[in-house]
Chains A and B, each alone.
Chain A
Amino acid sequence: MTSKPHSSLHTVDRRHFLRSGAATLALPALEAFSAHGASTVAAGAKNFVAIGTYLGWHQNAFFPEQAGHNYEMPATLSPIAGLRDEFTIFSGLDHRAPNGHGAWSNFLCGQSPKSYSLDQKVADSIGAKSRFPSIQLAAGAGESDTKEGNGISFTRQGIKLPQVQRPSVLYKQLFTSKADRARTEYLLRSKQSSLDLVLDDALRLQKSLPSRDREKLEEYFESLRAVEKRMGRQLETINDPVPQPDYELPSYDPITPNLQIEAEQIMYDLMTLALETESTRVISFFLHGLGQVFSFDGKALGSGYHGLSHHGNNPAMIRDLITIETAHIHCLAGFLEQLKAKKTPQGKSLLDDTIVLVGTGMGDASRHSNANLPTLVAGGGFNHGSHLALGGSKNETPLLGDLFITLMQRLGIEADSFSNASRNLNQLFS
């Protein structure tokens, strides 16, 4: 099978009002959503979006050759050249984590793979204010993949969070139809009304157990309370006017891995809508990479995505790899442009209110090295426009976690450490 992301690119463009800005949201006035949190936003950014690839970013095409403001735009980033003043490129940052595929998932986790990830830390601090404390998305993984899914978001307990892959599912969650809402409400209310019977039975059971077992079972009751609370919150808002965007989803879900680029475009559109309608403040988006063979302009690439990442310095394979990565950035460009064009009720651009972190836990997939992770930060109201080359002696070079601390502070979270990092990079943005 081959895909034709480019040919479908313009159909997506045409269909999606957002880029043209022609349509508006059929909302009960956008300003209605500005009621909460208005006084705190002036201090910094409000939303956080993290985007991570599984197979890294080819370093030579991601890092500019020159440091500072006057760098020449590297190949992979060419689609966002026009947004030069809206982002900063970082080189030299990593988590000092061990090499190999095993440590890959630590993009947002810091030194230990599969631990409390940055997005979840942020969601636990600021997520509760919106309908969805956080949203986790993925593209390119394929639903028939039987392997343990990869991911980038982990709870405090180190549990990997599920990711939504079907745009239609995300859309349904964000903008449920009336019929769906009635069904959801029925399910929630009937559940709520019967839960006491299950709970009574469970408590009777718990009481009879020895003390160690009783304590262990507390995990169950804690979880049940959390789910109940969430159900309560869902019920509170279920009859709120749900924004009904004038947005037409494609009639199919591009979930097969070779439709990844198309999936990314749609996901970015929906992410913009989610942020704009304040449905959530925290999103993580995972760009997977398996053996899928992409076609661009009707021509299939020489090898699958994963195969290309092991390029072994073969120029033809590197060229194809950069083609894919540039396509990722092309989609990102659409996202950043949409955010920039949208205004918050305070008159700020949505991009200034949203920190977009783009990176990976894989420094160089060809060697399975997890050092020097390609990283980019856009938006969030920072002073952007340069390439910050943070090389130097191994012990002095800041950690990627130091950047995370700065991002958290920007979001109004009092944080002075993250994983193995305890400094910050605030000075670099001043």
Chain B
Amino acid sequence: MIFTANRYLRFAGVAVIHFAVLATPVKAEEVPAAIQDILFKNCLQCHDADSEKGNVNLDRSSIDWTNSNQRALWQRALEAIDRGLMPPPEKKSLTSEERKTALAFLDEKILEHTAIGGTLPRRLNKTEYESTIRNLFHLPEFRLPAGFPNDTNYHGFNNVGEGLVLSPPHLESYANIARHIADEIFPPTKPAPEKKTWSAGPEDMVLSFSAAGVHGNALRLASRSVDIMRSCSWPSKIEISDSGTYKITVDASKFLSKSGSPFEGDMMLEVYARAVTATDRSKVSDFRLLKKIAVTSEEPQTTAFQADLYEGETVLFHWKNARMTHDPPATGEAFEVLSKENPRFLAAWLKTVFPSGDPKRPIRISNLRGRNGWDTVSKYMADPDLDLTHATTDSALAQAFFKLAASKGKASIADCLCYFYHTRGPAMEIHQLTIEGPSKRIESPIDLKRRERQLKITGAPHKGQAREDFVRGMLSSFLPRAFRKSISNDTIESYLNIATRHWEKGHSYEEGMHLLFRNILISPRFLYRCLDPEGMDDFDLATRLSYFLTQGPPDETLIDLAQRGRLSATRPSRTDPSKVEYWVLRRETERLLPTSHTDPMIQSFVGQWLDTDTLRGIMPDPKFNFDETSIDIAKYETEAFFTEILTKNLPITDFIDPDFTFSSIGFVQRNYGFTPSKYLGKNLNSAAKQKLQRLEIERGGRHGGLLGQSAILTATANGVDTQPVVRGVWVLENILGTPPPEPPENIPALTPDTQGTITPREMLAAHTSDAACAGCHQHIDPVGFVLENYDPVGRWRTEWPGKTATTIDASVTLPDGTEIENAIEFKAWLLDNIDLFSKCLAGKLMTYATGRVPNYAENREIEEIVKKNRENDDGFRDLVLALIESETFRTQ
């Protein structure tokens, strides 16, 4: 954009000059001779009006500093000189005197003409909108519908004004949600439900793991585990749409074993009501018991009963007194009993589990899961040549097997045993289910909740209060919270009008209110934040603070402070009486700062700053053995790490080289290849290995700190290969705060050849040998390449993969000329230059908090804050507090 504007300027140059001379006062200021000399000697060879290399023309005798495009152009020039990008390496560089003069001049002029502030009106982004609805309407479970349009990232964040475009699909979605919310508070009267009949046979029931199996015309259950996915079945294709009383009919029978100890007495079948959307990890006790049925015969018996079912429910079957449980000790005992009854059973299991005959070397038990295991066991059982040598319950092999079956975490053995019961019995058989109704409508718990919610939102009128007066009063307390602003009487009346006009047309009270709420929810006052002709007031400050720190709207305390104009109260600073401190703002910040790694601000900011929110889409190649759980642990590490530094006010250098991390011992051993010293030589059980915790580590090592964390190293690779350029760009953007310009078009991404014929190092060298690429890549490549010892999931490696292994040489020369060997030395370099990182982090926080990319003047304020903070112990929490008190934060 900038460059197009310059082109226009050049094109229209002559006309502009004439116009200026004749009519308007000249806004452009003459460029001092000394500066013109420097430009002429060093820059204009490429950047004059004729060559205009890279679309940059610096050939000006005067500059209009009030023009933001002009300022942006010269700011780029300043940064290029400051960072040593220009003049390019092959050209003569500026003398230090010239450099100083040029930088001082540009800095002064740009600063003089750049005002602090400038956030565009921002609509609430997805997360903010969702949490605002939850809050305002007492709908803690509210979630945006699956297809709600996504937010667009701008400078790495999804809450920046420029990126938050509001398009027709957005407004349509807002309108749909508004209707949904209005339906929740003032539900439209439903037509009388039609009577329906649903039927389900064995084929229509859910088979979860090995909980049930279909045999002939029956579904068979075997276990009474409380985990429904291991013991129960339910029809997935029935979903009640109207809460009411239904007639439920079940055909069930006993399936008894032909051998072994007989099953005495009745089989008790329990029928529960299960929400269709409930997770399969639910327990039986999570559901409502509808009926206990005693199944007495081997012939199908029909039981019919009446029960209440609510909207969204189906029924679930559980065999209450099944012989089998999934408890490990009981599983071991069950095997012992069955083995005594049938030596062939035992022999087949032993052959399956100990194929080598060695009791110390069982197969991987998870391989037995489901039918796979049972197929093998039953094949052996049918084998006439089955070796029965060890098939006595007291043999060493049998004892080892029973012990294994009785140990924790071996549910696959029990799952496999289900198949035995399904085929041999005893099992519960279900043949048919019918649900008919409703015979009567009932108020569901959901309906009840709706009524309570309505009362919370609108309150109730006094006796004899006129409808209009009641709603006026309701609006005067509701709208300031919904619009996060003090609301004029005019505005209240214009919203009240929506309802009154509707009533006048003969619609009911509920219909008028329904319409009113639908309209409040699509008002720009609700959808946007901080719309104010006068800049920020206390409400806007409360709003900015709250969405920054909690992702949600201001709470009662903040609204109250804003209403009383107290949030921006100041008093003379205790450390420097010539300055003021925003003590209420500071106190509120301290109250709202996140304290846990699961807090929304941590999840949102860390995910977006460090790109760890992309992890779930990466799906690393199976060869890395990095599954969903690993991704969870890796994300936890980075988030808990950030939280620790924030809440404990640890120095900012700890982001780079800390003496702690958060993970599990198992993950650290597996992925990082070391054991924290405290745990060396200790024998840990699997629970201890999986426990997520704070772990002490050595400073100055390979792992620890952002650059050694799996989450980040995975997010900057693609799940298959490392991409040094991607990592380099990432480091420049998110660690050093010096993002490179956009890459030229038509350049395909560098895909390393894993065949190993050309090393990534050689491929990368191509960048810097081509002058066109070198300009940027001499900055990008080193800081990405130095991380090559980390593989695509963050494990340390010393060789590149491929047919012919090549030793990794990650040594690079940093743009400032420093030569470093590897990532460890890079971390040391960062510690020496910690302000680069601190400024970058502060800038990211500010972008995220204010919804705008800090401008030149704001960056200057940020730099000052960073510097002052470093001189005072460099605590990260202190930095955040100082940033929130800054003029940049407090300005619209």
Q: Which of B112-137 contact A (CB under 8 A)?
A: 118, 120-121, 123
Q: Would you call B621 and A310 a contact (CB within 8 A)?
A: yes
Residues on A with C-beta less than 8 A from B147 are: 136, 149, 151, 161-164
Q: Scoring A residues 186 to 207 as 1 if CB is less than 8 Å from chain B, else 0, what string do you get? A: 0100110111011011100110
| Interface residue B169 (Cβ < 8 Å from any Cβ of A) | yes
- Whether A162 touches B173, Cβ cut-off 8 Å, given contacts A102-B617, A213-B120, is yes
Q: What is the distance, in angstroms, from A204's C-beta to the closest C-beta of chain B?
A: 8
Q: Are A161 and B169 in contact (CB under 8 A)?
A: yes
Supposing A99-B718, A205-B531 touch, asked if A226 and B146 sit within 8 A by C-beta, the answer is no
Chain A nearest CB: distance from B72 CB in Å? 16
What's the Cα separation between A17 and B175 when bound, in Å?
Answer: 37
Residues of A within 8 A of B149 (CB): 159-162
Q: Is the CB of B619 within 8 A of A101?
A: yes
Query: Please, how many angstroms separate the alpha-carbon atoms of A202 and B720 in the complex?
Result: 51
For B173, list chain A residues within 8 Å (CB): 162
- Give the contacts of A121-171 with B (CB-CB under 8 A): 136, 141, 143-145, 147-149, 151, 155, 157-165
A212 close to chain B: CB less than 8 A: yes
B501 within 8 A of A: yes
CB <8 Å contact, A210 and B519: no
Of the listed stretches A1-9, A270-278, A326-334, name the one at the interface; the rest are far from the partner chain.
A1-9
Task: State in angstroms the CA–CA spacing of A187 and B120 once bound together.
Answer: 33
A250 with B237: CB separation less than 8 A: yes
Give Cα A306–Cα B522 distance, bound, in whole angstroms: 40
Q: Is the CB of A198 within 8 A of B519?
A: yes
Q: Is the CB of A223 within 8 A of B168?
A: yes
| Binary A-proximity of B160-198 (CB < 8 A = 1, otherwise 0) | 010001111111110100010000000010010000101
CB pairs A–B below 8 angstroms (7 shown): A101-B618, A161-B169, A191-B518, A201-B494, A209-B531, A252-B237, A306-B619
A183 CB-CB contact with B under 8 Å = yes
Q: Which residue of A lies closest to B502 (CB)?
A: A190
Take A2-B207, A160-B150, A252-B237 as given contacts and tell me if A100 and B719 are in contact as well, using a CB distance cutoff of 8 Å.
yes
Q: Are B511 and A227 in contact (CB under 8 A)?
A: no
CB-nearest residue of chain B to A231: B175
Interface residues on B, range: 35 or more
Is the C-beta of B152 less than 8 angstroms from some C-beta in chain A?
yes
- CB–CB B207/A367 < 8 A: no
| Known contacts A220-B524, A312-B622, then 20 further A-B pairs from the complex at CB < 8 Å, ordered by chain A residue | A1-B206, A98-B749, A101-B719, A147-B616, A148-B150, A198-B498, A201-B491, A201-B495, A209-B531, A210-B533, A213-B531, A216-B120, A216-B121, A216-B161, A220-B171, A223-B168, A227-B172, A252-B237, A307-B622, A312-B623
Given contacts A99-B718, A159-B150, A165-B146, contact A223 B171 (CB under 8 A): yes
Q: For the complex, is A387 an interface residue (Cβ under 8 Å from B)?
A: no
B588 contacts partner chain A, Cβ-Cβ < 8 Å: no
Chain A CB within 10 Å — which of B507, B524, B617 has the most?
B524
Residue A208 at the chain B interface, CB threshold 8 Å: yes
In the bound complex, how far is the Cα of B617 from the Cα of A48, in angstroms?
A: 30
Instruction: Choose among A145, A201, A216, A312 the residue that contacts B146 (Cβ–Cβ < 8 A).
Output: A145
Q: Which residues of B are found within 8 Å of A78, using beta-carbon distances? A: none
Contact A194 B501 (CB under 8 A): yes
The minimal Cβ–Cβ distance linking A152 to chain B, given in whole angstroms, is: 12
B776 vs chain A, min Cβ distance (A): 17
Establish whether residues A190 and B511, one from each chain, have CB atoms under 8 Å apart when the complex forms.
Answer: yes
Contact A251–B237 (Cβ < 8 Å): yes
Q: Mark A306-338, 1 if CB is under 8 A from B, else 0.
A: 110010100000000000000000000000000
Which 7 A/B pairs are nearest by Cβ-Cβ distance? A162-B147, A98-B749, A252-B237, A226-B168, A223-B171, A100-B718, A208-B533
- B518-552 CB contacts (< 8 Å) to partner A: 518-519, 522-525, 527-528, 531-533
B370 interfacial by beta-carbon distance below 8 Å: yes
Find chain B residues with CB under 8 A from A217 CB. Answer: 121, 524, 528, 531
Residues of B near A4 (CB, < 8 A) are 203
Is the C-beta of B145 less than 8 angstroms from some C-beta in chain A? yes
**Across the A-B interface, how many residue pairs have beta carbons closer than 8 Å?**
176
**Proximity string of chain B (195-236) to chain A, C-beta cutoff 8 Å, 1 when within and 0 when not:** 010100001001110000000000000000000000000001
Verify if B573 is at the interface (C-beta below 8 Å from A). no
A342 CB to nearest B CB, Å = 29
- B152 touching A158, Cβ below 8 Å: yes
**Chain A CB within 8 A of B515 CB:** yes
Residues of A within 8 A of B741 (CB): none
- Overall SS of chain B's interface: loop
Which chain B residues (609-642) contact chain A, with CB distance < 8 Å? 614, 616-619, 621-623
Q: Tell me the bound Cα distance from A198 to B169 in angstroms.
A: 19
Choose among A148, A162, A183, A310 the residue that contacts B145 (Cβ–Cβ < 8 A): A162
Given A101-B719, A179-B191, A368-B719, A300-B370 contact (CB < 8 Å): yes
- Determine the chain B residues whose CB is within 8 A of the CB of A145 once the complex forms: 146
B497 at the binding interface (Cβ < 8 Å): yes
- Asked whether, in the complex, the Cβ of B498 is within 8 Å of the Cβ of A194, the reply is yes
- Contact between B533 and A209 (Cβ–Cβ < 8 Å)? yes
Cβ B146 vs Cβ A162 within 8 A:
yes
Query: Which residue of chain A is the closest to B519 with respect to CB atoms?
Result: A198
Alpha-carbon distance between A226 and B531 when the two chains are bound, in angstroms: 23
Whether B873 is near chain A, meaning CB under 8 Å from some CB there, is no
Contacts of A368 in B (CB 8 A): 718-720
Chain A residues near B (Cβ < 8 Å): 1-2, 4, 7, 96, 98-102, 136, 141, 143-145, 147-149, 151, 155, 157-165, 179, 183, 187, 190-191, 193-195, 197-198, 200-202, 205-206, 208-210, 212-213, 216-217, 219-220, 222-224, 226-227, 230, 250-252, 256, 259, 300, 306-307, 310, 312, 367-368
Tell me, in angstroms, the Cα distance from A160 to B118 when the chains sit together. 28
Report the Cα distance A147→B175, complex, angstroms. Answer: 23
Contact B719 A159 (CB under 8 A): no
**A335 to nearest B CB, angstroms?**
23
What's the least CB distance linking B139 to chain A, in Å?
A: 17
Which chain A residue shows the least CB distance to B122? Answer: A216
B residues less than 8 Å from A367 (CB atoms):
720
Chain B residues with CB below 8 A from A143, complex form: 146, 277
B555 part of interface (Cβ distance < 8 Å): no
* Chain B residues, Cβ within 8 Å of A213: 120-121, 531
Give chain B interface residues in 457-502, CB to chain A under 8 Å.
Answer: 491, 494-495, 497-498, 501-502
Residues on A with C-beta less than 8 A from B681 are: none
B416-445 near A? 1/0 per residue, CB < 8 Å: 000000000000000000000000000000
* A100, A144, A202: most-surrounded residue (chain B CB, <10 A): A100
A82 to B227, CA, bound (A): 48
Contact B370 A252 (CB under 8 A): no
Evaluate contact between A202 and B171: CB separation under 8 angstroms: no
State whether the Cβ of B560 lies closer than 8 Å to any Cβ in chain A.
no
Contact A223 B170, CB 8 Å, known A2-B207, A194-B501: yes
Cβ contact within 8 Å between B120 and A212: yes
CB-CB nearest in chain A for B126 = A148
- Please give, as numbers and ranges, the residues of chain A lying within 8 Å of B121 by CB-CB distance: 209, 213, 216-217
Across-interface contacts of B497 in A (CB, < 8 A): 197
Chain B contacts for A216, CB-based, 8 A = 120-121, 161
B748 contacts A98, CB within 8 Å?
Answer: yes
Q: Which residues of A contact B370 (CB under 8 A)?
A: 300
Q: Measured between alpha carbons, how far is A284 from B210 in the docked complex, in Å?
A: 37
**A144 to B748, alpha carbons, bound, how many Å?**
36
A162, B144: Cα distance in complex, Å:
11
Are A99 and B203 in touch, CB under 8 angstroms? no
Chain B residues contacting A141 (CB-CB under 8 Å) are: 146
Q: Tell me which of A151, A159, A222 has the highest count of chain B C-beta atoms within 10 A of its own C-beta.
A: A159
- Name the B residues within 8 Å of A208 (CB-CB): 533
Q: Which residues of B contact A1 (CB under 8 A)?
A: 206-208, 236, 280
Q: Which residues of B contact A197 (CB under 8 A)?
A: 494-495, 497-498, 501, 519
| Chain B residue with Cβ nearest A229 | B168
Cross-interface CB contact of A205 among B150, B191, B519, B525, cutoff 8 Å: B525
Tell me, rounded to whole Å, the shortest Cβ–Cβ distance linking A386 to chain B: 30
Establish whether residues B617 and A101, one from each chain, have CB atoms under 8 Å apart when the complex forms: yes
Q: Is B239 an interface residue (CB 8 A)?
A: yes
